[in-house]
Amino acid sequence: MSQTVGEVITSPPPPARDERVARRSPFARLLTRPEVGALLGAIIIYLIFFSVAPAFRPAESLSSVLYQSSTYGIPAVAVALLMIGGEFDLSAGVAVTSSALVASMFSYQFTTNMWVGVLVALVVALAIGFANGYLVVKTGIPSFLVTLGTFFMLRGLNLALTKQITGNVATNDVSDMQGFDSAKKIFASSFSIGGVSIRVTLIWWIIFVAIATWVLLRTHLGNWIFATGGSAPSSRAVGVPVNRVKIGLFMLVGFMCWFTGMHLLFNFNTVQSGIGIGNEFIYIVAAVVGGCLLTGGYGSVIGAAIGAFIFGMANLGIVYAGWNPDWFYFFLGVLLLGAILLNNYVRKRAEAMR
Amino acid sequence: MTTTTAQSTEERTTAPLVRLTDAGKHYGNIIALQGVSLEVGGGEVTCVLGDNGAGKSTLIKIIAGLHQHTEGRYEVEGKPVHFNSPREALDRGIATVYQDLAVVPLMPVWRNFFLGNEVRKGVGPVSVMDVGFMKRTTKKELSDMGIDLRDVDQPIGTLSGGERQCVAIARAVYYGAKVLILDEPTAALGVKQSGVVLKYILQAKERGLGVIFITHNPHHAYPVGDEFLLLKRGRSLGYYAKGEISRDELTALMAGGAELEELHHELQAGGGVAAAAAHVLEEEVKELGITATGGQP
């Protein structure tokens, strides 16, 4: 017995917690999140504009920046999820315009209630997303190429059909149509809090980001999205319906593009058929700046929202600072590259900390 | 010697968990597998041995439901089956641990453990994953298998090869697999880690699971296996119970006497160090009892 006791004494008591896990401060834990780089970048850019541009400081300006950000941020929510799922959608920018054109022209030509046009546009937008996803999944062709094809097709259709139907490059004003006012309330109204006017798209944006983040981190669907982007063959082998996840994500992009398109329509009453080209890159850049891995399997919707906010700040900040707007895209490039480098640096440090 | 197999078949009151009879697979006009028979019951380890290109992968893909056999019969618990997807095979209790382990490196261990079988609470569209339960279960299941993980939140890509292998095996066992197919689990591992994996194979056997262990290493197969199926160029080279064959005979069959002999001559012609290696090889060939005329002991 004494021997046993001796042994017990010489062997150290089992530690209450695993001694191999170094105590990590909440700060170090925070640094391992994918969106941290973007957050730091956003703070730095905000401080720069805050110090150099007095016009940037009032709450009203921040509201404008947030509005601008939300119009890019809403599609970026879906584009980020799609990127985490391992795919791209280059047709997202023009799909926004397509949705707006369909809703506007359908209601106007058939003199229906605006809501009929809105629903038809939703069906069309989801169909475009489904077509993209189906082609990618069934052919195995990279989504970069498939959606580049859809991008050009939609770009052509937008212009050609609009000219054919209205005889003009823009749609007719629909502001006096039935159902316009109620639709405008949903998609393009504004209200004020403490004297600062807030656009409704900002609220929608926050709701979409919250739902998407919850789905991504707390539901099995989110698990499947991460897995599909991280390794599609492995996911398939354990029973994840990879194809349905991908098609669903493309359709979600369609949905968000439709929503943004409805905002355009009910905000401006008419739609220019040529707009939206190039916006797809802004959505993708917002997602990448926000910490989404270009190769899929890693990223965050909150990060993409911060990415869109950085873009909105740069876009309006230059105007508020009174800089020559010709330089806008140059500054934008610098800001984005800087944000990505910072992001990269933070992620590497965070991984080394593990 | 075939009586041993016959007896064991008679002794079984129920049908074996998995039985292939003269199964084959064609890809167009290419014959990947032909006339292969195999049986696995509960608490049995059947080893499938063969060199690269012997048809091992095709065989497990058929059993796992990734491919369909084009010839012969495939029965699970006595009922003929034609699986259209790995999901269907999984539902019948046939789980596969692939060479690449079917894990997503960037995802945390617990997310990988439950991938495709997420535990949910709540109903309908508002059901959420029970993250706490999933993390606890992962930690517990792994420690039951003797793997003490530092942190189930770390990406699975940061684990060692042996650890990842064991996570994949523990996962299959947890999901009530009746038959475990292990595709070359020791191929990329060192000696010590291979030993760990072999231990888990025996543990699964003790729990009453049927194990199909694919390998090209007879030294790993012999200690744990009850039956041995040898494949070569898509055909069965022999199907032996453990009592019917010794490890040396197994090695000899695997290596193929003629091939070893050829290698011996090649090395000898090289001179110097190569000749010394040839001498070692010659000793080994003698020890295994392979004659120059062919791979028979």
pLDDT digits (tens, 9 = 90+) for B51-103: 877 888 888 888 888 888 888 889 888 888 888 887 788 888 888 887 766 78
The segment with the largest mean pLDDT, out of A54-63, B173-182, B238-247, is: A54-63
Query: Would residue B289 be called left, alpha or beta, if left means φ above 0 and alpha means ψ between -120 and 50 degrees?
Result: left
Q: How far apart are CA B178 and CA B89, in angstroms?
A: 11
| The predicted structure's pLDDT at residue A94 | 96
pLDDT at A7 > cutoff 50: no
Mean predicted confidence (pLDDT) in A226-248: 90
Radius of gyration of chain B (CA): 21
Across the range A204-213, mean pLDDT stands at 96
| Chain A partners within 8 Å of B87 (Cβ) | 239
Give the per-residue pLDDT at A96.
96
Residue A240 and residue B116: Cβ atoms within 8 Å? yes
Tens of pLDDT, residues B237-294: 888 888 888 888 888 777 665 566 677 677 777 767 777 777 777 776 666 665 444 4
Q: Tell me, letter by letter, the H, E, C secondary structure of chain B.
A: CHHHHHHHHHHCCCCCCEEEEEEEEEECCEEEEEEEEEEECCCCEEEEEECCCCCHHHHHHHHHCCCCCCEEEEEECCEECCCCCHHHHHHCCEEEECCCCCCCCCCEHHHHHCCCCCCEECCHHHCEECHHHHHHHHHHHHHHCCCCCCCCCCEHHHCCHHHHHHHHHHHHHHCCCCEEEEECCCCCCCHHHHHHHHHHHHHHHHCCCEEEEEECCHHHHHHHCCEEEEEECCEEEEEEEHHHCCHHHHHHHHHCHHHHHHHHHHHHHHCCHHHHHHHHHHHHHHHHCCECCECCC
On whether any CB of chain A is under 8 Å from the CB of B152, the answer is no
The chain-wide mean pLDDT, for chain A, equals: 87
Contact criterion met (CB < 8 Å) for A223 and B150? no
The per-residue pLDDT for B260 is: 65
pLDDT at A17 over 80: no
pLDDT value of residue B128:
85
First and final CA of chain B: distance in angstroms?
A: 16
Question: Is B131 in Cβ contact with A234 (below 8 Å)?
Answer: no
User: pLDDT at residue A10 above 50?
Assistant: no
Contact across the interface for B118 and A220, Cβ inside 8 Å: yes
Give the integer Cα–Cα distance in Å for B73 and B82. Answer: 9
The answer on pLDDT for B164 being more than 90 is: no
pLDDT at position B1 is 40
B102 to A237: CB separation less than 8 angstroms, yes or no: yes
Interface of A with B in 113-132 (CB under 8 A): none
Give the tens place of pLDDT for each residue, A91-120: 999 999 999 999 999 999 999 999 999 999
pTM over 0.95: no
State the pLDDT at residue B208.
Answer: 85
Return the percent helix, strand and coil in chain A, to nearest 5.
75, 5, 25
Encoding tokens for residue B125? 């569209």
**Percent of chain A whose pLDDT exceeds 90:** 61
ipTM: 0.78
